[in-house]
Amino acid sequence: MAHMTGVFRLGRDAEFRSTANGTAALSLALAYNYGRAENGGKRPSQWIDATIWGKRAETLGDYLKKGSQISALLSDVHIRTYQKKDGTEGFSLSATVQDLEFCGGGNSGQPAPKREPAPAQASQTPAAAEFFDDDIPFMRVHGPW
């Protein structure tokens, strides 16, 4: 089975659906850049139709918004063929999301809350704030769910 790990950007808001037997599914349009910059200075993009299944689909749908950046482990990566509206054959890269981690801004479609600075403490050791930045918007979300 093919696996892929990378940092992706969501091309649209996640779309929730249920299968005929009631299993929750969340459809994602993931994009990543590859190769060298072309004449316009932009690198080409590859799109992947990805799906999150089960309880994770129910839980994460509200947080996966267009423009969000995630790090993900994809499994069952394959080329899917389909018939386009004009009758020709189309191809898309498809996968299942096994694990994901939010990275970058805009994860929930809302700005991060403002934090009040902690009061200074008199001590010989440096304050924790010198080592950690609580405003970095990383949140690890992985199974099993």
Of 71-75, 79-83, 138-142, the one with minimum mean pLDDT is 138-142
Report pLDDT digits (tens) over 56-71.
999 999 999 999 999 9
What percentage of the chain carries pLDDT values higher than 90? 59
Q: What is the mean pLDDT of residues 3-15?
A: 94
Could you give the number of structural domains in the chain? 1
Domain coverage including residue 93: 3-108+123-142
pLDDT for res 105: 56
CATH at residue 10: 2.40.50.140
Give the model's confidence band at 39: pLDDT under 50 very low, under 70 low, under 90 confident, else very high. Answer: confident
pLDDT for res 80: 93
- Does residue 57 lie in a domain region? yes
pLDDT for res 52: 96
pLDDT for res 128: 42
- Does residue 31 lie in a domain region? yes
How far apart CA 20 and CA 43 sit, in angstroms, is 40
- Does residue 117 lie in a domain region? no
Of residues 82 and 142, more confidence is placed in 82
Contact call for residues 71 and 107 (beta carbons, < 8 A): no
- Does residue 133 lie in a domain region? yes
Supply the mean pLDDT for the chain. Answer: 79
How far apart CA 34 and CA 112 sit, in angstroms, is 30
- The 3-state secondary structure of the chain, one letter per residue: CCEEEEEEEECCCCEEEECCCCCEEEEEEEEEECCCCCCCCCCCEEEEEEEEECHHHHHHCCCCCCCCEEEEEEEEEEEEEEECCCCCEEEEEEEEEEEEEEECCCCCCCCCCCCCCCCCCCCCCCCHHHCCCCCCCCEEEECCC
Report pLDDT digits (tens) over 100-135.
999 975 544 444 444 344 444 444 444 444 444 444
- Does residue 113 lie in a domain region? no
**Backbone torsions φ then ψ of 123, nearest 5 degrees:** -155, 170
- Does residue 114 lie in a domain region? no
Burial 127-140 (b: 16+ CB within 10 A, else e): eeeeeeeeeeeeee
- Does residue 61 lie in a domain region? yes
Of residues 26 and 132, more confidence is placed in 26
Of 15-19, 87-91, 103-107, 112-116, the one with minimum mean pLDDT is 112-116
